[in-house]
Amino acid sequence: MKQLLRLALAADVTALAALMLGSWTRINGAGLTCPDWPLCRGRLVPALGDGTLWEWSHRVLAGAIAALVLALIVAAWRQRAQSRFIAPIAATIAAFFLLQLFLGAETVRVANAPYSVVLHWATAMALIASISAMAVFVAASPDVGRRDASERTAHAVAILLGVTAVAAFATMCVGAYVSSSGAGLACRSIPGCAGNVVVYTSGQYAQMIHRIAAAATLICAAAAAALGWAQPASARVRRAAALGLVLISLQIVLGLLNVVLRLPTELREAHALNAALLFLAFFVATSLAVVDATPQRWTRLSAPNPLVR
């Protein structure tokens, strides 16, 4: 199981690095420096000038992820008897990875159309979340040291954290559309849009929906953190929820600064990275809360097999 955990963590870190390199590539206008796929300008290793280095490196990282995902699935298959959750999570990881490969090629084909960018980002985050779930479910066991809690309370904490993770995911996807469609400065005033409460253009609609979704995520995050601390959630769940609350607060500050400073490149990348991290914080918190809320399900299907390493 330790090997499976190490592979999951390595795949997680590599996938997150590929995600952010892809974001950096697009933000810098280098997303189409490799206009074909899977080769780049018809070559395995092209000339790396004019931003091609970023796009080509993004594809190299995707190749590394492929190797790690394959190794992870093989290890999961060998350890499938250790938990009923390993096999379905491994299948989910494989499905999201294959879909992500297709969307990567499609994004190039449609010249970074906003809808393809959103789907590419959303699938990347779903893949990273699935790998994170594998790591959590392999490493975690019910926290027997937590304060006594009713089953209903434990489930309530898990549900609220899950709602927060979904809200963060939706906010990210709307943000990806705002960024890729050029609507980042469609609303240059705060909290209204161009000095108005009513908006008129599609870019303004997208920008205001993004802001409303961010506010909803903040409210959910605050409620989840408060419930986690007020009710007997485990220390690890409370820490993850508190981290998520800090990150969503930072995210709102970064979003406001992006508008005020007119979208500097580094700040846009920081906004994208922090969005991914805050979603993962609440996703991991949800996963841990599920483990704590359903301890009867976290038993091995069979006794450990000494031949399975």
Q: Give residue 307's pLDDT.
A: 39
Q: What gap in Å lies between CA 120 and CA 103, rounded to an integer?
A: 6
For residue 308, pLDDT over 50 is answered with no
Q: What is the 3-state secondary structure (H, E, C) of 48-107?
A: CCCCHHHHHHHHHHHHHHHHHHHHHHHHHHHCHHHCCCHHHHHHHHHHHHHHHHHHHHHH
For residue 100, pLDDT over 90 is answered with yes
Copy the structure tokens of residue 252: 């709102």
User: CA dist 291 to 81, 165, 216, 235, Å?
Assistant: 18, 16, 26, 13
pLDDT digits (tens, 9 = 90+) for 118-127: 999 999 999 9
Copy the structure tokens of residue 145: 């040291």
Q: Give residue 302's pLDDT.
A: 39
Residue 295 pLDDT class (50, 70, 90 cuts): low
Q: Which helix (H) or strand (E) holds 260?
A: helix 235-260
Residue 207 pLDDT class (50, 70, 90 cuts): very high
Mean pLDDT calculated for residue range 30-50: 89
Q: What gap in Å lies between CA 114 and CA 276, rounded to an integer?
A: 18
pLDDT digits (tens, 9 = 90+) for 223-236: 998 988 887 678 88
Q: Determine the longest span between alpha carbons in the chain, in angstroms.
A: 68
**Could you tell me the residue ranges of all domains in the chain?**
1-139, 142-298
Q: What gap in Å lies between CA 260 and CA 306, rounded to an integer?
A: 60
Q: What is the pTM for the complete model shown?
A: 0.90
